[in-house]
Structure 1
Amino acid sequence: MSVYLLIHGAWHGAWCWGKMIALLESAGHRAIAIDLPGHGEDKTPISELTLEAYANCVATVIDGLDQEVILVGHSMGGMAVSQAAEYRPNRIKSLVYISAFLFKNGQNMIDVIPPHPYVQISDDGDTMTVSKHKVKDMLYNNCHMEDVQDAVSRWQVEALRPLLTPLELTQGNFGRIPRYYIECLRDNSVTIETQRSMQTASPCKKVFTLDTDHTPLFSTPGQLCSILLNQI
């Protein structure tokens, strides 16, 4: 039995992994999804959100488990996954990035991800969001409408400070964990060009391709689960 620890992306929470948890558990594995600070049911104030807080949250869950984890990050969750891997390299079997931010040491979001025309920054510069009528086009363009409506009903603003914080990674910790990337060809959020640029800069053990949007955990959960179960 493997343990999959699932880390959500921006504007989401543990709730977005429901389909994947059901599939992984039906195959006899353990799947755990958590809310990063300030997301989902976690009410940490935006003023207290940091990349370190995200990574420590992941590390704390890892510390409470009795075996190595397959640590999976979607989208922005890739930053939390990478920083947590630096903190707990001996407890992580592999890292999986699903159209996720795969940055090198010292990089933050501005260094790698081009500005998106749909993303709106708050007047105080503390948060970002996407207007509801643009969400489907940006993140869920291959998803069923019921999934889109459910996601929009749970929508939250995203703190910018964690995304603007440079990662602190070393080859001796983060660098020794096998990395896998699952790229999404129809991604209107993190374009395939950006995904492949990150892969070139931080080569992975293997890259898998899905012909879908930014959120395969909604749009193609069966295909995504098959990769996690059979090829990683």
Structure 2
Amino acid sequence: MTLRHLYLVLFFFSFGFTTKGQTVSPTAYYKDKDGNERTETMSIDDAQAPLDVEFRANPSGIEGRVPSYEWHFRHTGLSKDNRTKRELFVRYEENTSYTFAESGEYEIVLKTFLQDNTGIVELDSGVIKLTISESKLEFPNAFSPNGDGTNDIYRAKPEYKNIISFRAIIFNRWGQKLYEWSDPASGWDGKYNGKDVKEGVYFVLVEAKGADGKEYQIKRDVNLLRGFSPKENVTGGNY
């Protein structure tokens, strides 16, 4: 709050200025990890980074007064060595957007001031909390691209989360690059130049970074098993 805001708020509180019927309803609008449109007025838990969120003040009953807004973005780290809450920045528009790309706990506080020819008053603050959890990325050691609909694609295990940069490359035993992809949700179908490669052992190199700053360097063998059926003794995706 500026010195001018503080003076006027104290002045009108002293003279009984009322804000009855004048409200704001801060709301967050975003898409979840499955692409579904979501709205939230209190908290967004265990969100996946990067997360694009639009914040709207949704004022009501303020006719005849000029509103001004302050969106305060505050962040607390998740690690034991980084639990200090710090204010990141302040935005001054009615609606604002931000991309959350770092893990931690966030607190978005909306302060609203109403002004008319008699002065200015502050409404009750609105708070939305948001948590971006720590990152995770693991890869299996085998897949079976045989067209049965199970483990036909070599990709990251489905439990991955909060990966903000990603690159994976498949090599054969002679070091020839066969395939590359940049989205952990995608993967390799066991083909090279549109043709099935032979069964055998291949190699994957993964370079990635999590929203928590963790860097991943994954290097491992990949067993391509076309004749394998997960019904035999292995659950799909967990080889």
TM category (shorter chain) comes to: under 0.3
Under a length normalisation based on structure 2, what TM-score does the superposition of the two structures give? 0.21
Q: Name which structure has the greater RCO, CA cutoff 8 Å, separation 6+.
A: 1
Higher strand share: 2
Whose Rg is larger? 2
Under a length normalisation based on structure 1, what TM-score does the superposition of the two structures give? 0.21
Higher helix share: 1
